[in-house]
């Protein structure tokens, strides 16, 4: 079990003090900064878009892990690259031509990720897993922070890890939703590589300590 990559979700940060929140992450053991982009169509919530992502990037010293929970992501990936995205993740469920979407992201020089909603079987990635840098496994229904972790996630992670091994893929597994100290060890044991944590980090008394503990779980 390797040391996980920690990608705190800025969606749970104090937006009135966004610069200081980003600087806190810069000074923490966090590896990436997870940015959830929601359009109110693909998911039932609206978060923020290009201007806020650009503002975050101006202060961030960690890679921006941009998760596009939006319809027609191919229309926006270039713009998000321009405002600082280093990892761009699109949803399997939002892409009619997923292979083309992945090629588009890689052509921009970004790492290409594919996110799966809780009800989406991992087997649907078998024909493209070798092209993907990252699979973002949603462990809650996407759209809102602070939701309860879905227990079926553990078995899905194991199935995905088997698929990655079987296809000799270099893809890493990211878990997004309801991650905390209680489930992190089991997720890593199942095969997860990246842990996204929002409310658990930003609502804690000491976010830097919380991140450090997740990193060393």
DSSP states along 159-204: HHHHHHHHTT---EEEEESS--TTTHHHHHHHT--EEEESHHHHTS
Per-domain residue ranges for the chain? 5-215
Structure confidence at residue 109 (pLDDT): 98
Q: What is the pTM of this model?
A: 0.96
* Radius of gyration from C-alpha coordinates of the chain: 16
Going by their DSSP bridges, the two strands 172-176 and 134-138 should be labelled as parallel
5-215 has which CATH code?
Answer: 3.20.20.70
pLDDT tens digits, 108-155: 999 999 999 999 999 999 999 999 999 999 999 876 666 789 999 999
Identify the residue whose tokens are 């609206």: 46
pLDDT digits 0-9 by tens, 26-64: 999 999 999 999 999 999 899 999 999 999 999 999 999
Q: What whole-number distance in Å separates Cα of residue 83 and Cα of residue 164?
A: 31
Tell me the average pLDDT of the chain. Answer: 96
Buried b (16+ CB within 10 A) or exposed e, 186-207: ebbebbbbbbbbbbbbbeeeeb
Q: Name every residue whose Cβ is closer than 8 Å to that of residue 92 and which is 6 or more positions away in sequence.
A: 98, 114, 115, 116, 117, 120, 124, 125
CA angle centred on 91, ends 8 and 12, rounded to 5°: 25
Catalytically active residues, by annotation: 36, 176
Tell me: the pLDDT tens digits for 79-119?
999 999 999 999 999 999 999 999 999 999 999 999 999 99
Q: What are phi and psi of 33, to 5 degrees?
A: -120, 120
């Amino acid at each position: 079990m390797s040391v996980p990559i920690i990608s705190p979700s800025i969606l749970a940060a104090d937006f009135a003090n966004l610069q200081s929140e980003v600087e806190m992450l810069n000074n923490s053991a966090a590896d990436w900064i997870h940015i959830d982009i929601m359009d109110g169509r693909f998911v039932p919530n609206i978060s923020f878009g290009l201007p806020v992502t650009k503002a975050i990037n101006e202060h961030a010293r960690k890679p921006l892990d941009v998760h596009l929970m939006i319809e027609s992501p191919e229309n926006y990936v270039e713009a998000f690259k321009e405002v600082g995205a280093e990892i761009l993740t699109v949803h399997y469920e939002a892409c009619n031509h997923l292979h083309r979407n992945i090629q588009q992201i890689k052509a921009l020089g970004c790492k290409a990720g594919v996110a799966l909603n809780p009800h989406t079987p991992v087997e649907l990635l078998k024909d493209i897993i070798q092209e993907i840098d990252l699979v973002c496994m949603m462990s809650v229904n996407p759209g809102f922070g602070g939701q309860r972790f879905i227990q079926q996630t553990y078995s899905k992670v194991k199935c995905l890890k088997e698929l990655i091994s079987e296809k000799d893929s270099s893809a890493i597994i990211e878990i997004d939703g309801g991650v905390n100290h209680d489930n992190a060890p089991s997720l890593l044991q199942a095969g997860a590589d990246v842990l996204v944590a929002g409310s658990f980090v930003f609502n804690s008394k000491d976010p830097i300590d919380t991140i450090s503990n997740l990193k060393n779980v």
